[in-house]
Amino acid sequence: MMNDSKLHPHFSEALKIPDIRLFIGSVGFFTLASRALAVVIGFQIYRITHSALALGWLGLIEAIPTLSLVLIGGYIADHFDRKRILLITRAASFLCACALAILSLGNTAHSLFELYAVIFLTGIARGFADPANTAFEAQVVPKHLTVNASSWITSTFISCSVIGPAAIGFIFDSWGAIGSYIVIAASFMLSWFFTVFIPPKPQPVPEIKEPILQSILTGWRFVWKNQPLLSAMALDLLAVLFGGMIALLPIYADDILHVGAKGLGLLNAAPSLGAVLITLLATKRPPIAHAGRNLLLTVVGFGICIILFAFSRNFWLSIGFLFLTGIFDGISMVIRRSMVRLLSPDHLRGRIAATNWLFICSSNELGAWESGMVAAWIGTVPCVAVGGILTLTVVAVIAMVAPQLRYLRFDPKTLEQKKSPENG
């Protein structure tokens, strides 16, 4: 029987373990760099082209390698050393940031193709890094600290998602693209150092030798048969695909709100600031007692805020709506991260994580492409507003067709799934 400290962990219990602190540092600096990179490359390309279509292509170019490789990345994460995979991919991200800095030395109008090519390479690295990172987290974090550590890791991820975009906007204005990419490269290298100091961890290796394709599809089949996991991933995919507007923020910053690079950094940071505050609260009050219901309600709130943001013409009001989207998204992230950990068997973690990242990458990168295409067709403001309406429609449909998600509950003390009328 678990002792009381495991049933009722202190809100900072996970931080007492050095390996978790190192993992958080690795995630933090990597997030800092990758989120800053997204702001700089988006603003740089928009300044070159002044085209919503070009921003859409940017998302698609990163999505193609990521989506193509993420399932293979899950197989690799289950069959090879996950820490080594992270070290290789973080080093690759560092080299890509250095390459972007070098390209920015020349005439950027003639280096657009090269900029896209480097982003394609970052997508390749991400296809292997994302499932390995999620699976490696399960090796570093003891099960009884899953939700507590998940809240801290998510809080760090979101904090750095605030700091990275907010700071890089000012750095871009002061030092230009070259200085920005140098700072980003340094952050990638710090992430590599935090990863290298995490001690080796025992890793379960699948005993049954299957053909590679069959093994890769095992994780997908598990998710497909698990209604709560599948519906939660589909909900995130469709909500961000339709409601995501981050790719269009350079247009809002330059042409609608007229706030420039500094304002763009703050617009990018606002959702993350809201998310970090709510995820810090989740370290004390995890939102998993009624996980399914809470997940659906948070996406409803997200969709409403997207619609309100679409029509705002006041910079600070727009910041406020984005801040609220972050609060709702932060709750959603804690619930979904906990679900993936608690509902996944050990030997399939990498492949299930890969399936989860396939949904996430589809929503983020393909969402950016979809936003760019639709904005070029009907205009930026109608595109964002329609996306918010479609997000609300998605929630209603999934709530009706996925009763096991609606009733999904976990015991906050034991982290065991509670029985419901739909899951038996």
For each of the chain's 424 residues, which pLDDT tens digit applies? Answer: 344 444 455 567 777 888 889 999 999 999 999 989 988 988 888 888 877 777 778 877 877 887 777 778 777 888 788 899 999 999 999 999 999 999 888 655 557 888 889 999 998 898 888 888 888 888 888 877 777 777 788 778 777 877 888 788 888 888 888 999 999 999 999 999 999 999 887 776 666 566 666 766 777 788 888 888 888 888 887 877 776 677 788 888 888 888 887 888 788 788 878 887 887 777 677 787 888 888 899 999 999 999 999 999 899 999 999 999 989 988 888 888 788 778 877 767 767 777 776 776 666 666 666 777 788 888 888 888 988 899 899 999 998 988 888 888 887 776 677 766 555 4
CB 343 within 8 A of CB 366: no
pTM above 0.85, yes or no: no
Q: Which domain holds residue 401?
A: 18-199+211-406
- The answer to whether residue 420 sits within a structural domain is no
Q: What is the DSSP secondary-structure string of 184-227? A: HHHHHHHHHHHHHTSPP------SS---HHHHHHHHHHHHHH-H
Looking at residue 422, what is its pLDDT?
56
Q: Number of folded domains in the chain?
A: 1
- The answer to whether residue 77 sits within a structural domain is yes
Which CATH number fits the domain that encloses residue 83?
1.20.1250.20
Distance CA 157, CA 127 (A): 18
Radius of gyration of the chain (CA): 20
Choose among 146, 183, 249: nearest CA to 34: 183
Cβ neighbors of 174 (< 8 A, separation 6 or more) are none
Looking at residue 55, what is its pLDDT?
77
Looking at residue 5, what is its pLDDT?
46
- The answer to whether residue 422 sits within a structural domain is no
Within 13 A of 115's CA, how many CA atoms are on the CB side? 30
DSSP state of 417: B
- The answer to whether residue 220 sits within a structural domain is yes
Distance CA 261, CA 105 (A): 19
- The answer to whether residue 370 sits within a structural domain is yes
- The answer to whether residue 417 sits within a structural domain is no
Choose among 289, 268, 282: nearest CA to 333: 282
Distance CA 137, CA 153 (A): 9
CB 198 within 8 A of CB 23: yes
- The answer to whether residue 301 sits within a structural domain is yes
- The answer to whether residue 421 sits within a structural domain is no
Choose among 26, 23, 24: nearest CA to 189: 26
CB 361 within 8 A of CB 353: no
